[in-house]
C-alpha cells in the first residue's frame, strides 16, 4: 500500500485564514469591474438604436451569496416611453408599454423568433476576461503584501 504524508498543511491553513478574504474579495471585484463594464458598453454600443439601454449599463456593488462574492454588470431601468421604438402593444388597440432595458439586452443576446441572437455579453466577457483577471491578481498581491 502507498503511504501519504503531508507536512505544513496547518501552517498553510493559518496563513490562508489570516488573508482576510472577506475584505479582499470585494475589493478585487470592485476594482476590476470597470474593465468589464466598459467592454459590455462597447459591445452593446455596436447595436445601439436609441441609446437608452447603452446609457443604462451599470455595475452593482459587491454582494455575497452562498457561493461567494459577485458583481453584476447590467442595464437598469426602462426604455424611454417617448421613443416609439422602445414601446410595445400587448394587443391591438392597447396602450403602449415601456420595455425594460434588461429585457432588450436578453433579446439582443439570445434572439427572438424574429431576431437572430447577437451574443454581446458573451463577446464582452471573453474580451475582458484577461484584463479583469490581471487586475484582480494585482489587487490581491497588493493587499497580501500590505499585511
Q: Name the pLDDT band for 58 (thresholds 50, 70, 90).
A: very high
pLDDT above 70 as % of the chain: 76
Range in 12-16, 19-23, 53-57 the model is least confident about? 12-16
Q: Is a pLDDT exceeding 70 seen at residue 9?
A: no
Query: pLDDT tens digits, residue range 78-123?
Result: 877 666 555 565 666 666 677 888 888 898 899 988 889 999 999 9
CA distance 143 to 140: 5
Q: Which helix (H) or strand (E) holds 18?
A: helix 9-18
CA distance 28 to 22: 11
Q: What is the largest CA-CA distance in the chain?
A: 80
Q: What is the pLDDT of residue 61?
A: 93
Contact present, 63 and 22 (Cβ < 8 Å) = no
- Which residue reads 497588493 in cell numbers? 142
Amino acid at each position: 500500500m502507498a503511504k501519504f504524508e503531508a507536512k505544513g498543511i496547518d501552517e498553510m491553513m493559518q496563513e490562508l485564514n489570516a488573508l482576510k478574504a472577506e475584505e479582499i474579495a470585494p475589493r478585487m471585484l470592485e476594482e476590476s469591474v470597470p474593465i468589464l463594464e466598459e467592454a459590455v458598453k462597447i459591445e452593446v454600443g455596436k447595436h445601439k438604436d436609441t441609446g437608452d439601454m447603452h446609457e443604462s449599463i451599470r455595475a452593482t456593488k459587491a454582494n455575497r451569496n452562498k457561493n461567494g462574492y459577485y458583481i453584476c454588470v447590467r442595464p437598469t431601468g426602462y426604455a424611454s416611453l417617448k421613443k416609439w421604438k422602445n414601446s410595445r402593444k400587448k394587443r391591438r388597440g392597447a396602450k403602449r408599454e415601456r420595455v425594460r432595458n434588461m429585457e432588450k439586452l436578453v433579446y439582443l443576446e439570445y434572439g427572438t423568433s424574429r431576431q437572430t441572437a447577437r451574443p454581446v455579453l458573451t463577446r464582452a466577457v471573453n474580451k475582458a476576461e484577461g484584463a479583469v483577471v490581471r487586475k484582480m491578481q494585482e489587487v490581491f498581491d497588493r493587499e497580501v503584501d500590505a499585511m
